[in-house]
Structure 1
Amino acid sequence: MRKWGPLTAVCLGTFMLLLDVTIVIVALPDIAGSLGASLSELQWVIDIYALALAALLLGAGAAADVTGRRRVYVAGTVLFALASLACGLATGPVMLIAVRGLQGVGGAAMFATTLSLLGASYQGRDRSVALGVWGAVSGAAAAIGPVLGGVLTQALDWRWIFLVNLPVSAAAVWMTVRYVPRTGGRGGQRVDWAGTAAFALFAGALTLAVVRADSVGWASTTTLSTLTVAVLALVAFVVVERRAAHPLLDLRLLRRPSFAAVMVGALAFNAAAFGVLPYTSIWLQTLMGMSPVRGGLVVLPLAVASFVVAAIGGRLLHGASPRLVIGGGLVLIGGGALAQSVLAADSGWAVLVPGFVLVGIGVGLLSPALAGAALASVPARNAGMAGGAVNTFRQLGYALGVAAFGTVVTSRMADSLRAVTGDARSAREAAHALAGGGADALRGRLPDEALHAAFAAGLDGAALAAGATGILAGLAVLLFLKPVRQPEGGTPGEQDKEQAAAGAR
């Protein structure tokens, strides 16, 4: 147990924090009914957590380098547990969104240290095994979230999707203190708080603009102003990083085609694989009449396929070309999303299963491969930065995917409903209510067939967008991710030793 104790401790925390990315999906209708949340508020319940992860991962990783990785991991787990308790006690949507953001802060501190803790604990083939298990856990956590969320919501209450984190957090802290070696910090290094703030402002403003664009218009003053803030924040981030003595992200790494390709793959991965699932879950429960458990079980083929492929692929694909694994995985995810764009007004849930299986296979391939490719595409001294960057881009992709595909869903719904309502404004209001789980309130005003047709049109449009995202990103990876012959920083054996030494600092 002592040999694999660090892996168990890290995987416990990873499973829990990534589970919370998607576990709320099946509970959205119950949350809307219990707290009176609107569609935009439901989107923020999902997005604020992923956004906090994306915005703070790099800063949390830098803080871990300064103060010690184990210390930051434990502190993040404790904060995550306290925020989960607050989520379970939330009395309104605004409070839930706020404490979900705090939960994301704790999750960022945990997630930022996972790869570096594993890199410092294992070398050689053991590291490949550890990354394979970690990848399987990562992929399965996000995929199984809707299933577990449905069970907890139906058997107990939606609040238990957060309260269940408390015993898991306690176990993760105990395992970490017992089995993960204590690591010191680098006393002479300072955290790049200016870069952290600039990146957080960029990610938040960009996501806010996309979430609100459908209701206020893409060309509106509000949307354009928010996008301008995002651009200025990104420019500020670039300026700060170029001048910082210890940058969050060495921008020179983006000049490496392989590193840039891995980041593109990470950004598209979570968006294409999981960005449409929240709206699919609302469709299953509010229009198809499924319980939270049945709605979650519909996604089970995705979860099973991802776990099996990641667990087996970590061993069988050891030494395989990351270009083929990552590029092929993204194409499979894109193809799986396209296979889901076949809904009609009278379609049942079974037509989605082949697409879910394809997406699950792609997720299983990508989860371990992305982590390994990120570490291999940079010098060993930048391993922690690369691990933080790939996880940052994954979560930012998910936040943007939920926001962007939500815009597609409501836009296509409004187009479908316009013929029934008679005017664009009423159609848009009905679309937002329908996408937010308000089908029951609309049934007295609009024909049931029209609601089914509108939701099917919305989901088909979002699935097409997700499919295009996955396939285009996969082609980019196949074109630009080059084989890693001899990364800077020494031979692979020397890199293992250097990375392990860095993790012990």
Structure 2
Amino acid sequence: MRKWLPLLTICLGTFMLLIDVTIVNVALPEIAGDLDASFSSLQWVVNAYALAMAALLLGAGSIADLVGHRRIYVGGLILFAVSSLICGISPNPSVLIVARVVQGIGAAAMAATTFPLLNGSYSGRDRGVAYGMWGAIAGASSAVGPILGGILTEAASWRWIFFVNLPLSIIAIVLCVVALRDMTETHSARIDVAGMAAFAVAAASATYALIRANEHSWSDTGTRSMLLVAAVALAAFVVIERRSAQPMFDLALLRERSFVGVLVAAVTLFLAAFAALMYTSIWLQSVGGMSPIEAGLVGLPLSIMAFLVSGAFGRFLHGANPGRIIGSGLLMVGIGGLLGGVFVRDDAGWLALVPGYIAIGAGVGLSTATLGSAAMGAVAPHRGGMATGAVNTAQQLGMAFGIAALGSVFTARAKDVLGARAVPDIDSAARAIAGGRSSVLTADAPEQLRPALQEAIYAAAVSGVQGTLIASGLVGLLGGVLTLVLIRPTHLSGTEEAPNAEVMKEVAGA
């Protein structure tokens, strides 16, 4: 039993950092009332965490490769615990937002070291079991967040969605000291500060631009300005890394077709599987009248399938062709999105989502764990943090881009429906529906017009959700095909630390 303590340690950290992406959403009304927070402040309570993670994941992985993965993981846990405490006792929105940024930094440190620690703790079939169970926890965590958040908020207070991290963090820290070991020895190489700064600016600017595009539009001056800043910073990052003797991210990895395939899979998986969940939740709550807990429970089929598939099949995937597994999982996610697009129509309710969620959950269960092992198989062991940081950054950016892009799809479809029903000011109305503010539209309307307006709002929301599901389904299918083509079985065989020939030469030269 002791041999599974490292897995328990890593899964505890993964569970905490992933549920904190979604657990806050259901508590926002309580936070607004208690702290007198504005709508803009509430948005940043959610977005600050994701922004910090996206900006620092790659840098955290690079530092971990130099100073030790276990050390960075423990540091991330401590930072996460302290910031969670500050979140829970925050007296005003400003303190809460800053604490969420620090929480995101701790989460980045944990996420960037997960795969190297798993690889260092297990080998052979045990590694397949470990990745399978980790994938089951990861796949289920995002959907569990809203349910747990709703229960804690209703039973105690919104502050307990943060306080609950404290005992889990203490347990994980103790287990780290007792059970975890590093896969590789630490190195005395210089930290690439310039590269880290350039990439942090690029990732933060791109993520902020995507968030802003979802709130305002792609044509907004602020959105375009931040995209320009991201492009300039990314160009600077490339120049710095090409000239650096010890780069934070080895650009030569991008010449490896299999590693590029892993990054493509990471982006498309999180976009196709999870980005549309925000809009289905808005539809169920603001238009369908469900409570946060009820809306969260609708996502249980996805979580259960992800947990069962990853947990049941993970131990059998060791040594299998990762490209086929990940590609097949993405194709299932794509099929699930299209199933949702078929069933969510007219006067459909929450049951229309279930068939698609089951397929998406199965696809997530297949892909998630194998994605991590495939990333580690593409690089030398001492670059595990670099590979993990790159994959996790791709996932975060895929999620952020997906939410923004699907938001545009939602509003465009909603506008078509509202325009056909002669609803005035369709642009503002469509954005209100996409942002979960449908009640404002009906409250401001004359009483005699409310029944017709409510019908129009429901039809617009259904059409918007249908569009997001179809779009995400198509992305899943495209990602599956690209993954099958790009990831080569000879390079990523899933064998013991079996990097490809070029990486083997690099290790020998070191």
With normalisation by structure 2, the TM-score equals 0.88
What does residue 383 of structure 1 align with?
384
Aligned pair in 2 of structure 1 residues 231, 281: CA closer, same or farther (>3 Å)?
same
Task: Indicate the SS of the match to 2:387.
Answer: helix
- Match of 2:488, SS? coil
Against the structure 1 CA distance between its residues 200 and 98, is the aligned structure 2 distance closer, same or farther, given a 3 Å change threshold? same
From 462, 475, 478, give the equivalent of 1:472. Answer: 478
Residue 417 of structure 1 corresponds to which residue in structure 2?
Answer: 418
- For 1:309, the equivalent position in structure 2 comes to 309
1:433 and 2:432 matched: yes
Q: 1:313 is matched by which residue type in structure 2?
A: F
1: distance between equivalents of 2:258 and 2:236?
A: 25
Q: Percent of aligned positions with the same letter in both sequences?
A: 50
- In the other structure, the counterpart of 2:398 is 397
Structure 2 stretches of 5 or more lacking a match? none
Structure 2 residue 121 is the aligned partner of structure 1 residue 121: yes
RMSD over aligned CA atoms reads 2.9
- Shift in CA distance, 454/44, structure 1 to aligned 2, threshold 3 Å: farther
Matched ranges for 1:60-459 at <5 A: 60-90=60-90, 95-181=95-181, 186=186, 188-213=188-213, 216-341=216-341, 342-418=343-419, 423=424, 426-444=425-443, 445=445, 446=450, 447-459=453-465
Aligned residues of 2:124 and 2:318 also touching (Cα < 8 A): no
Cα distance change of structure 1 residues 99 and 433 upon mapping to structure 2, 3 Å threshold = farther
Runs ≥4 residues deviating over 6 A: 36-40, 182-185, 493-496
Question: Does 11-20 or 182-191 show the bigger shift?
Answer: 182-191
Deviation at 1:420, TM superposition (A): 5.6
The letter for the 2-side match of 1:477 is: T
> Structure 1 residue 276: deviation in Å?
1.5
8 Å contact from structure 1 (residues 29, 436) kept in 2: no
Return the offset for 1:271.
1.5
Contact 2:53–2:108 (CA under 8 A) maintained in structure 1: yes
Out of 484, 487, 504, the position equivalent to 1:481 is: 487
Secondary structure in structure 2 of the residue aligned to 1:443: helix
Q: Is the 1:40–1:211 contact (alpha carbons within 8 Å) kept by the matching residues of 2?
A: no
> Is 1:48 aligned with 2:54?
no
Partner SS, residue 2 of structure 2: coil
Please tell me whether the aligned partners of residues 330 and 367 of structure 2 are also in contact (alpha carbons under 8 angstroms): yes
Offset at 1:266? 0.4
The match for 1:2 is 2
Q: CA deviation at 1:451?
A: 1.6
Paired residues of 1:50 and 1:396 also in contact (CA < 8 A): no
Is the Cα–Cα contact under 8 Å of residues 272 and 476 in structure 2 kept in the other structure?
yes
CA distance 1:486–1:337, change in 2 (3 Å) = closer
C-alpha contact 2:326 2:480 (8 A) present in aligned 1: yes
Task: Indicate how the Cα distance of structure 1 residues 113 and 213 shifts in structure 2: closer, same or farther if over 3 A, else same.
Answer: closer
CA contact (8 A) 2:115 2:388 kept: yes
Q: Give the whole-Å Cα distance in 2 for the aligned partners of 1:392 and 1:288.
A: 34
Q: What letter matches 2:427 in structure 1?
A: R
Pairwise CA distance, 1:323: 1.5
The residue type equivalent to 1:71 in the other structure is R
Q: Which moved more, 1:310-319 or 1:41-50?
A: 41-50
Q: Which amino acid aligns with 1:346?
A: D
Q: Deviations over 1:206-251 (max 9, x none)?
A: 2222333366543444333222111111111111111222222211
SS of the residue aligned with 2:3? coil
Change (3 A) 1:93 1:428: farther
Stretch of structure 1 that moved more, 200-209 or 168-177: 200-209
Helix, strand or coil for the counterpart of 1:191? coil
Counterparts of 2:459 and 2:372, CA distance in 1: 41
Aligned length: 495
Identify unmatched segments of 5+ residues in structure 1. Answer: none
- Give the letter for the 1:162 counterpart: F
Q: Deviations over 1:382-425 (max 9, x none)?
A: 333222222221122122222322233234334433456755xx
Cα displacement (A) at 1:25 = 4.0
Q: Which moved more, 1:109-118 or 1:200-209?
A: 200-209
TM (norm. structure 1) is 0.89
Shift of 1:67: 2.8
Aligned partners of 1:359 and 1:186: how far apart in 2? Answer: 39
1:462 to 2:468 alignment: yes
State the Cα deviation string for residues 8-44 of structure 1 (Å, max 9, x = none).
1111111111121232344455556666767766554
Distance in structure 1 (CA, Å) of the matches to 2:479 and 2:323? 12
In structure 2, relative to structure 1, the CA distance for the partners of 1:218 and 1:301 (3 Å cut) is same
CA–CA distance in 1 between the matches of 2:271 and 2:413?
A: 19
Give, in whole Å, the separation in 1 of the partners of 2:126 and 2:52: 32
CA distance in 2, matches of 1:215, 1:369: 34
Tell me: CA distance 1:44–1:409, structure 2 relative to 1, closer, same or farther (3 Å).
farther
1:262-312 Cα deviation digits (max 9, x unpaired) = 100001111211111122222222222222221111100000000000001
Cα distance in 2, alignment partners of residues 403 and 469 from structure 1: 14
Question: Bigger shift: 109-118 or 18-27?
Answer: 18-27
Are the counterparts in 2 of residues 70 and 181 from structure 1 also a CA contact under 8 Å?
A: yes
Q: Tell me the CA shift for residue 71 of structure 1.
A: 2.1
